[in-house]
Structure 1
């Protein structure tokens, strides 16, 4: 299976007109994005691939804000480029017109309506107060380029916004095996795995910082991999049981992450009385949440107070 997300330069292939079929939302929250999909086929490197074009039916407002920042930045660049031409004086109208045409031809302006014209200005050749009846040669004419940066091209902006809300998944798996909805769910599911694996790729965790021999580095990697598996199982079971966990921001997390669950368990202390008996000490406000977490994990509270028995060494 080959699964990837790309848009833009994808080689030589043919895409038919986009006609998306609605797929509905892909999350449980109320403002979850809804998608529409269109099946395509393309040839990349002489090999046929299935291309599924997805477009969000609920545009991400972050894309609009980023696009508007890009447009505003380009407008400032256009104004600076236009000022360099506006400040010039030309002795004849033909030179000014040539400069205007060259600027319009060489300056990119994908978002704004830009117009320009050549205007004539009269100047007094001699300093001082102008005379009522100036002599010949005391008044001369110069030519300037006037460039106006107009409004944003709304059609171009909307087209770019739709492009930024569109992406393509490429795969060799047929639609019978993975329909568009299942393919998108498979792709979006990758982030949950990668989110837990990020620390395994960090040299700060798995490197010669703690162990120097290659085989020990490998063993440490397996230990962390098992810890990641346990971390994921804890998160999955607590979420399946719909255990809500209070957070420091005074919100209640209905889908807590493993990090939040571990943070909550860190508040637990094990104390020992004079007889050596161990008991769990926890603020009363957190006790109900702890019981719910342990019930979801099918673990008794004695896992914190009764160490497991160790088997004697063999032989």
Structure 2
């Protein structure tokens, strides 16, 4: 028995079904929400400290390119965190404190606020590296773990 049915009407100019099947078209359409969510993140007042006004078209395009690159890095990091947590079978607390293997990169970034790394010559000390933060760093792999290790000598 079907509990719920839905209908999607999606138009495209790609009429060759060998190049783009109906399933691929629908998957691409449904995948747009993650891109929209990313741009909503970039427009959030907590992300951008001050409004920015540009008039020159070249500068607007350059800013758009940089922001799109930031979204790419943001999405890749979120994907890597989630993959690492699933591979290791570990979880990270969400905003309500419940364990999840699918935290958002935004939440992880916010929860890393408060880590300090004072440096003096070769000495580097990582302060406030709590266990939940270490979970994410270890999920990202050894290259990231080296960044969050104190070097007191």
TM-score, scaled to structure 1: 0.37
2:17 pairs with one of 175, 196, 206: 175
Contact 1:239 1:255 in 2 (8 A): yes
Contact 1:279 1:305 in 2 (8 A): yes
Residue 144 (structure 2) aligns with = 299
Residue 250 (structure 1) aligns with = 97
> What does 1:45-56 align with in structure 2 at a 5 Å threshold?
none
Change (3 A) 1:222 1:166: closer
Change (3 A) 1:220 1:283: same
Shift of 1:261: 2.3
For the aligned residue pairs, the C-alpha RMSD in angstroms reads 3.6
Shift of 1:250: 1.5
Change (3 A) 1:203 1:291: closer
Q: Which runs of 4+ in 1 moved over 6 A?
A: 203-206, 303-306
* Mapped partners of 2:10, 2:147: distance in 1: 49
1:232 pairs with one of 75, 84, 89: 75
Larger Rg: 1
Residue 194 (structure 1) aligns with = 36
Shift of 1:234: 0.4
* Mapped partners of 1:254, 1:186: distance in 2: 24
* Mapped partners of 1:176, 1:211: distance in 2: 45
1:259 pairs with one of 101, 106, 112: 106
Structure 1: state its 5+ residue gaps. Answer: 1-56, 60-161, 307-315
Shift of 1:211: 4.8
Residue 86 (structure 1) aligns with = none
* Mapped partners of 1:246, 1:279: distance in 2: 25
> What does 1:10-89 align with in structure 2 at a 5 Å threshold?
57-59=2-4
Shift of 1:268: 2.4
Query: Residue deviations 1:206-264, cap 9 Å, x none?
Result: 9x943555244443333222211211110121222226321231111222222122123
Contact 1:270 1:304 in 2 (8 A): no
Structure 2: state its 5+ residue gaps. Answer: none
Contact 2:81 2:136 in 1 (8 A): no
* Mapped partners of 2:101, 2:69: distance in 1: 26
Aligned length: 142
2:123 pairs with one of 268, 273, 277: 277
